[in-house]
Amino acid sequence: MIGPDALARLEIWLAGQAGAACVRLEDVQRLSGGAISLNLAVDLIVDGGALAGRHPCVLRAASPASLSASLSKTQEFAVLKAAFTAGVAAPEPLFACDDAGVLERPFYIMRRAHGIGAGRLVTKSEAAQPELARELGRQLGLLHRIAPGNPGLALLTMPELSPGLAAARLYRAWLGGEASRDPVLAWGLRWLERNAPPAGELVLCHRDYRTGNYLVEDGRLTAILDWEFAGWSDPMEDVAWFCSRSWRFARMDREAGGLADRADFYAAYEETSGRRVDPARIAFWETSAYLRWATIAHMQGQRHSSGVEPSLELALTGRMVPEILNDMLIHLATLEQGARPCD
């Protein structure tokens, strides 16, 4: 949590940002989840100015030991603003700050959305949820209309290689010696390097677009969350990530995020984005999804075991690596029964 002195500084800073006589913070509570960032629910009571009134918000602050894979809070705020402006169901971003004199860490504030987000709760319905899958496809299509050259996203780096090859090399770098010690990781990384598709269209990708990172209320989508991994990439990366086995939870039979068939998700995505889903690239990026998630899980476990950030959640995430790699092996075995993805 954030101490009372820091909260007092934050109130003064917010008053200046909002052009208000004063701002009070009420009902400050830590939210569940947030292994990468500190998430606090907070009500802003704004006295005067254009935002006068009570505003339920979320404050997202940098973790003491954030992953190298994640964006800075300034970058994340810019991505959130671009997505919100494009009509994506992202929470409205309000304020961002990288002045360490306020909270001793970068942060931003966005409006709070309502709904449930836990993957096992979202997917527990006995009946398929095709309309929710279609809406998530439409939202991803809107996001993927944002292309390089967007004036608010100049601070995002462009990939120097094809996104697929860049991803394989990045995972290898993150893993360090573990990339060669673990035979399944080594095989998966080599598979990615041998099968990386050539460079193609680049769009703004969420890069963690999945069940568990959006909110649902009464069966309807209310918000898409957790934008810290966003960046320029192959649009099929997001489509494949959403459909990978890792995010179906108890409904492995519903390949689109544990909600419905891929056809529902794909059709709405194609209609909104104006591009066709490419099965060969999906096959590659779904393999990449398992390697990326296994790599992130390994790094999360290291944050705990190194003593930098002791956390039961981080420790349990690190123990998921074998399960994730088993999902990858199932996926690759399925590919072996058909054509090679990039022949």
Its pTM stands at 0.93
Structure tokens at 148: 């390089």
What are 192-211's pLDDT values in tens digits?
Answer: 999 999 999 999 999 999 99
Query: How large is the average pLDDT for residues 229-252?
Result: 96
d(CA 25, CA 13): 12
Instruction: Kindly list the distances between the CA atom of residue 27 and the CA atoms of 7, 42, 235, 299, in Å, as whole numbers in the listed order.
Output: 12, 6, 39, 33
Angle between helix 130-143 and 235-243 (nearest 10)? 160
Query: How large is the average pLDDT for residues 275-299?
Result: 97
Quick one: what percent of the chain has pLDDT higher than 90? 86
Residue 175, pLDDT > 90, answer yes
What are 296-328's pLDDT values in tens digits?
Answer: 999 999 989 988 889 898 899 999 999 999 999
Q: What architecture is the 4-111 domain classified under in CATH?
A: 2-Layer Sandwich (3.30)
CATH number of 119-336: 3.90.1200.10
| pLDDT value for 38 | 87
Q: Residue ranges of the domains in the chain? A: 4-111, 119-336
**Sign of torsion, CA 261 262 265 271?**
negative
Structure tokens at 121: 């709760």
Pair 241, 116: CB distance under 8 Å: no
d(CA 256, CA 233): 21
Q: What angle do CA 167, 168, 172 make, to 5 degrees?
A: 115
